[in-house]
Amino acid sequence: IHSIIAIAEINEALNSGDHQQTLAALLLPTAKLTGVNPAIAKHYHDTLHHIKQLLCQVCHNHHHQYIFLFFVIFL
């Protein structure tokens, strides 16, 4: 369940448009991510936001399970 909470926090941060908020979400202990480099927070935000947009297009055009599968693999 902690992974789901971390995903929700990261998604919320991506929606905010604020790369510092995204960095804070990526650094949460529940995200269980290692090696997150604060110096490239904008890159993380931009890349994850782009991936999220692509997944939303897939979700819209196909099936919702693709997003779930992505996040299971991601974490």
Choice between 4 and 74, residue whose per-residue pLDDT is larger: 4
Residue 37 to residue 23: CA distance in whole angstroms? 9
Beta carbons of 62 and 34 less than 8 angstroms apart: no
pLDDT of residue 51: 86
Q: Are 22 and 41 in contact (CB under 8 A)?
A: yes
What confidence tens digit (pLDDT) does each residue in 28-41 have? Answer: 999 888 999 999 99
Cα–Cα distance for residue pair 32/3, rounded to 1 Å:
8
Q: How far apart are CA 22 and CA 11, in angstroms?
A: 8
